[in-house]
Structure 1
Amino acid sequence: MEHALNQRVPKGGGQPTLQAQPPRALLRVIHTLDTFAEQTGWVVSWLIVPMVIAMVYEVVARYFFSAPTIWAHDVSLMLYGTFFMLGAAYALKQRAHIRTDFLYNGFSVRWQAFVDTVAYLFFFFPGLVIFLWYGWDFFYDSWRLKEHAITSPWMPPLYPFKAVIPVTGALLLIQGVSETLKSVYALVKGRWP
């Protein structure tokens, strides 16, 4: 059985110090949630391919054959929206969302963790609950009515596109739990797991 302490030798030599390692169960949960975000990000990234194909098809059809489509704009718009929304959890995992790094990076690890923990608990999760609640209603009403776009001659169904809203909320919730666990650990231990 492995011991939860790890020996570290200080810079410049000297006696090794014992430093506690994160509990295995915590690391396993964080790793599982982060891996899920990585994998969904990879899958979602492939949505760029059909979007580019639709746009190239439209350009070629329109400018080389004078035969524009009625569907390419809608498809590219919906795919881009889906790509953007479903990629949000991956961006959260990669720490790619906007933050005031010029202030944040100057903080100690504990202060960074404190800011992150407070932000997740008091802003991120409450906002996400509202997003999920209204997003689900928005999707459910669209699905129940079998809503179609009325602004396009193609009139594509909108309910599959609107399903992206609650799915995005669920993905962000999952990754938010991982980020909060990392922040709480860093707040307590003074280092990131």
Structure 2
Amino acid sequence: MPQTPELTDEMIAARRADPGAGLPDDMPPWMSRTIVAIDTFSQWVGHAVSWISIPLMFAMVYEVVARYAFTAPTVWAYDVSRMLYGALFVLGAGYALSKGVHIRSDFLYRKWAVRTQGRVDTALYLVFYFPAMLIFLWVSTKWGWTSVVGAERGMDTAWMPLLGPVKSCLPIGIAFLVIQGISELLKSVHAARTGRWPQ
């Protein structure tokens, strides 16, 4: 007898491909408008941030070719690739949350009723997620601002690049996570109330 395939992260991401496409009719209009606006914003940010991967790949390939084909390693490629990857990672985190592809240990969670999932998610967003994200936002803003104002430089390589631009990506990325968290909280509240996840 064929088994029902398990819902994978890739299937979740594909299901969430179009912001607002699967919102139920019984969802309050203010809630559906908020979810669509936030999910659309996160999708736009994710697509814009994905372009960082092009200069990241260029820096990596350039370094490999320069080092091994011409015996002329650069002093900048390591720093540039590290900073671009960091920016790509933090600025795209809100988009990843909107697609439901953050790592989660949900071997028990997937067996629960939808209402239970919604209640647990709502509680976790309110008790842990938002307080932690707001603290991280406050701390990282101070951290990034200090780096920009003080013209902080990386001291672990010969190139010694300015760190302000990449450190300022952290509070921006956390702000994107807070914004997307509002949409995820509203989806959880709807699931807790109705027993159905908005698709």
| TM-score w.r.t. length of structure 1 | 0.87
Q: 1:72 aligns with which of 65, 68, 77?
A: 77
1:181 pairs with 2:192: no
Deviation string for 1:55-109 (max 9, x for gaps)? Answer: 1011111111111110000000001111111111111111111222211111111
The count of aligned residue pairs is 175
Instruction: Give the deviation of 1:25 after TM superposition.
Output: 2.1
Q: 2:141 aligns with which of 136, 153, 157?
A: 136
Q: 1:105 aligns with which of 110, 135, 156?
A: 110
SS of the aligned residue for 2:147 comes to: helix
**Higher mean C-alpha displacement, 67-76 vs 37-46:** 37-46
1:149 pairs with 2:154: yes
CA distance in structure 2 between the partners assigned to 1:76 and 1:171 by the alignment = 22
8 Å Cα contact 2:115-2:193 kept in structure 1: yes
For structure 1, list consecutive stretches of 5 or more residues without a partner in the other structure.
1-18
Which residue in 1 is equivalent to 2:97?
92
Which residue in 1 is equivalent to 2:51?
46
SS of the aligned residue for 2:80 comes to: helix
CA distance in structure 2 between the partners assigned to 1:85 and 1:99 by the alignment = 18
Which residue in 2 is equivalent to 1:61?
66
| TM-score w.r.t. length of structure 2 | 0.85
Which residue in 1 is equivalent to 2:170?
165
Instruction: Give the deviation of 1:20 after TM superposition.
Output: 6.4
Which residue in 2 is equivalent to 1:123?
128
Whichever residue aligns with residue 29 of structure 2, its letter is: R
Which residue in 2 is equivalent to 1:24?
29
8 Å Cα contact 2:90-2:174 kept in structure 1: no
Greater relative contact order: 1 or 2 (C-alpha under 8 angstroms, separation 6 or more)? 2
CA distance in structure 2 between the partners assigned to 1:99 and 1:134 by the alignment = 25
Q: Which has the higher strand share?
A: 1
8 Å Cα contact 2:50-2:92 kept in structure 1: yes
Whichever residue aligns with residue 52 of structure 1, its letter is: M
SS of the aligned residue for 1:46 comes to: helix
CA distance in structure 1 between the partners assigned to 2:181 and 2:161 by the alignment = 33
**Higher mean C-alpha displacement, 37-46 vs 158-167:** 37-46
CA distance in structure 2 between the partners assigned to 1:100 and 1:158 by the alignment = 34
For structure 2, list consecutive stretches of 5 or more residues without a partner in the other structure.
1-23
Instruction: Give the deviation of 1:118 after TM superposition.
Output: 0.7
Deviation string for 1:123-170 (max 9, x for gaps)? Answer: 000110110111011101111101111122111110001001100110
